[in-house]
């Protein structure tokens, strides 16, 4: 009896939370399809005009490409920095993990606006490309996501035994890693890459302040549109939300796929 009542409460609360979080997004979506929606309760009509206008705009394409490039570079750098360390910590020396914990709180103790102050002070007058510094700095701030996702990938299997067997059989450490470890942590790597990519793709603070608006990424373009053209900005916001939704969908598919895979392989070993 008690269980029933709490379930109803839970459902009611979650419905309210859902409405509260989703309303601004849904309203922006409707706005992007409206001919005009100013100071009225309902829009005056619907159109796809704003979409064709934005998508054919050269500024949109170039800002999209910049954000994609930033996302890809950051994803690669984050993997190069963290994959070996997380592997080492999980297989050889768990003590390393306690040292890595500082990484997980980094976005809270040194958020983007604080980090960029130091970067400006250090690199503003040095002849080093700011873009390189930007990519490295975004990689640093995305490390908590990368770290957590990669660390989860190492749960549940004896990677040390697998790795050492491969070494005994004559593989070099790098070859052993690629042959026996990598195939087993594919899901974790994919998830880590997607999360890193998303955070770099939507970066704003570092890009805007470090490069002073000279490097117009999608978010900076969105801010410029917001000041000048509400309709175009609502289209871009909607596209950005659809991008986030697609990423979540892919994440769910990956997790489901590998969860099933794990279950069947576990059953195999138990039988």
Partner 1 sequence: MTTRLKVFSPLSLLVILVLLLPISVMIVASFQGGDAGFSLDNYRQVFTNHYYSEAIRNSLGIALITSVFSLLIAIVGAWSLTHLAPSTKNMFISLFNMSASFAGVPLAFSLIILFGNAGIWQALTTALHLPRLFEIYSLSGTTLAYTFFEVPLGILFLFPVFEELNPEWREISAVLGASPFFFFKKVILPIIFPNIIEVLILLFANAMGTYETTFALTGNSIVTIPTLIGTLIDGGLTANIPLACTFATLFALVMTALVWLGNRVTRSKREVAA
Residue count of the chain:
271
Q: Which of 1, 40, 170, 270 binds partner 1 (CB under 8 A)?
A: 40
Of residues 118-157, those binding partner 1 (CB under 8 A)? 118-124, 133, 136-137, 139-140
Determine, following the binding rule CB under 8 A, whether residue 88 of this chain makes contact with partner 1.
yes
Q: Considering only 148-156, 157-165, 231-239, 261-269, which stretch makes contact with partner 1 by CB under 8 A?
A: 231-239
Helix (H) or strand (E) holding 214: none
Determine, following the binding rule CB under 8 A, whether residue 76 of this chain makes contact with partner 1.
no
User: For 34, how many CA atoms within 13 A lie in the half-sphere containing its CB?
Assistant: 18
Residue 137 burial (10 A CB sphere; 0-12, 13-18, 19+): buried
Nearer to partner 1, 92 or 156 (CB): 92
Nearer to partner 1, 12 or 156 (CB): 12
Q: Considering only 49-57, 151-159, 162-170, 205-213, which stretch makes contact with partner 1 by CB under 8 A?
A: 205-213
Q: Which of 19, 48, 55, 113 binds partner 1 (CB under 8 A)?
A: 113
Q: Considering only 11-19, 58-66, 151-159, 184-192, which stretch makes contact with partner 1 by CB under 8 A?
A: 11-19
CB of 96 to partner 1, least distance (A): 9
Q: What does the alpha-carbon distance between residue 209 and residue 215 come to, in Å, rounded to a whole number?
A: 10
Q: Which of 82, 159, 163, 197 binds partner 1 (CB under 8 A)?
A: 82
Q: Which of 35, 44, 62, 84 binds partner 1 (CB under 8 A)?
A: 84
Dihedral (Cα; 71, 22, 259, 79), 10-degree rounding: 20
Determine, following the binding rule CB under 8 A, whether residue 14 of this chain makes contact with partner 1.
yes
Of residues 175-204, those binding partner 1 (CB under 8 A)? 198-199, 202, 204
Q: Which residues have CB under 8 Å from 26's CB, separation 6+? A: none
Q: Tell me the two tokens of residue 43.
A: 């829009």
Of residues 241-270, those binding partner 1 (CB under 8 A)? 241, 244-245, 248, 251-252
Contact (Cβ atoms closer than 8 angstroms) between residue 219 and residue 203: yes
Contact (Cβ atoms closer than 8 angstroms) between residue 36 and residue 44: yes
Q: Considering only 44-52, 149-157, 159-167, 233-241, which stretch makes contact with partner 1 by CB under 8 A?
A: 233-241
C-alpha separations of 161 from 95, 123, 155, 194, 267 in Å: 19, 45, 14, 29, 21
């Amino acid at each position: 009896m008690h269980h029933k009542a709490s379930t109803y409460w839970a459902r009611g609360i979650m419905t309210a939370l859902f409405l509260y979080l989703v309303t601004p997004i849904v309203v922006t979506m409707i706005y992007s399809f409206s001919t005009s929606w100013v100071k009225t309760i309902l829009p005056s009509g619907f159109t796809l005009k704003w979409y064709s206008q934005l998508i054919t705009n050269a500024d949109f394409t170039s800002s999209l490409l910049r954000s994609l490039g930033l996302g890809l570079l950051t994803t690669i750098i984050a993997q190069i920095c963290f994959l070996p360390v997380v592997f080492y910590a999980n297989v050889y020396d768990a003590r390393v993990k306690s040292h890595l914990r500082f990484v997980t709180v980094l976005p809270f103790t040194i958020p983007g606006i604080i980090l960029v102050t130091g970067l400006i002070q250090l690199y503003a007058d040095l002849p080093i490309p700011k873009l390189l510094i930007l990519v490295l700095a975004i990689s640093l701030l995305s490390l908590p996501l990368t770290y957590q996702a990669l660390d989860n990938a190492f749960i549940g299997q004896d990677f040390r035994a697998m790795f050492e067997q491969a070494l005994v059989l004559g593989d070099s450490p790098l070859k052993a890693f690629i042959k026996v470890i990598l195939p087993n942590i594919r899901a974790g790597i994919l998830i880590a890459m997607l999360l890193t990519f998303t955070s770099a793709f939507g970066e704003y603070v570092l890009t805007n302040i470090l490069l002073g608006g000279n490097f117009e990424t999608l978010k900076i373009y969105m801010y410029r549109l917001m000041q000048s053209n509400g309709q175009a900005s609502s289209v871009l916001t909607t596209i950005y939300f659809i991008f986030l939704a697609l990423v979540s969908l892919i994440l769910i598919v990956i997790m489901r796929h590998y969860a099933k895979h794990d279950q069947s392989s576990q059953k195999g070993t138990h039988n």
